[in-house]
A and B are shown apart, each in its own frame.
Chain A
Amino acid sequence: MLDALTIALAAAAIVLALWCGIAAYRDQSTKDRHFLGMAVVTLLATVQLVVGIVQLARGAKPEQGTVIFVAYLLGAFACTPAAGFLSLAERTRWGSATVAAGGVVLAVLELRLYDIWGG
């Protein structure tokens, strides 16, 4: 369950990064549709956070330690909204570039999460 979510989130994050990267390349700011995409990614990250915590509560032990696992879960959860709010304040291509960078960061976090959990 958690592994599937992690992989899905990594894929979604890369798609978001490409999508907003294209917007930045075309000199466009983030539009409503991009924010919808960020909302979907954030929703997935929220589900991942909840599932992860439930698994821990049930006594599961992440391979590389509970503290690191929770830290990465929280980081992954906060990543997209943080980038989204920044891009709200910067209505130029650089707002899009920021969200694109956020997507790459999230993808990296998910890869690390996969290892930490011990997929």
Chain B
Amino acid sequence: MAVTDRKRTGSGRTRLISGPGLLLVWLYGVMVVGALSRSAVQISTDFGHAPLAYSLSAVAGVVYGFITYTLVRGGERARRAALVCCAAELAGVLVVGTWTVVEPSAFPDATVWSDYGIGYLFIPVLLPVTAMLWLRRAARPVGAA
């Protein structure tokens, strides 16, 4: 019963937020609020302290926001867009994560993606992987109405 994954919305778009997709949307939603509010506070109060770190958090928040939107919207194009963004997100976490480990001095303060998202229970690195697996599975079978 858990696998009623691909339902259709009234408009005929593939629903991406049924089943495991709902959990993904919830976690992405939390990350949107977390990353955006964090960077908003830091940029508005103390931008000069760690401009790179705070800007990266803001970018991460925007990417999370877009992925959340595409998941909620559903449909094949949204699914592809979400896949691309998840890949970008994963690349971001890996690059920034490695960067913070190799050269901590570039980051006087932590970002959402520091040390592969350790401050966020590694959700930033686990989420895109899970999301990409889910989105691949939600792919519309060829010829299906």
Tell me whether A48 is interfacial, beta carbon within 8 Å. Answer: no
Tell me whether A117 is interfacial, beta carbon within 8 Å. Answer: no
Tell me whether B118 is interfacial, beta carbon within 8 Å. Answer: no
- Closest Cβ of chain A to B139, distance in Å, is 19
B contact residues around A92 at 8 Å (CB): 1-2, 4, 19
Tell me whether A27 is interfacial, beta carbon within 8 Å. Answer: yes
Pick from A68, A94, A102, A105 the residue with the most CB of B within 10 Å. Answer: A94
Tell me whether B23 is interfacial, beta carbon within 8 Å. Answer: yes
B contact residues around A68 at 8 Å (CB): 41
CA distance A90 to B21 in the complex (A): 10
- Closest Cβ of chain B to A7, distance in Å, is 20
B contact residues around A43 at 8 Å (CB): none
Residues of B34-61 at the interface with A, using a CB-CB cut-off of 8 Å, are 37, 41, 45
Known: A27-B1, A101-B26, A105-B30. A90 touches B37 (CB 8 A): no
B contact residues around A95 at 8 Å (CB): 22
Tell me whether B33 is interfacial, beta carbon within 8 Å. Answer: yes
Tell me whether A113 is interfacial, beta carbon within 8 Å. Answer: no
Nearest chain B residue, comparing its CB with the CB of A102: B26
- Closest Cβ of chain B to A113, distance in Å, is 14
User: Is A94 in contact with B2, judged by CB distance below 8 angstroms?
Assistant: yes
User: Is B30 in contact with A98, judged by CB distance below 8 angstroms?
Assistant: no
Tell me whether B114 is interfacial, beta carbon within 8 Å. Answer: no
User: Is B2 in contact with A98, judged by CB distance below 8 angstroms?
Assistant: no
B contact residues around A67 at 8 Å (CB): 41, 45
| Cβ-defined partner of B41 (8 Å) among A71, A97, A98 | A71
CA distance A104 to B23 in the complex (A): 13
Tell me whether B144 is interfacial, beta carbon within 8 Å. Answer: no
B contact residues around A86 at 8 Å (CB): 22, 25-26
17 contacts between A and B (CB under 8 A): A27-B1, A27-B2, A71-B41, A79-B30, A82-B29, A83-B26, A87-B22, A90-B22, A94-B19, A94-B20, A94-B22, A94-B23, A98-B26, A101-B23, A101-B26, A101-B27, A102-B26
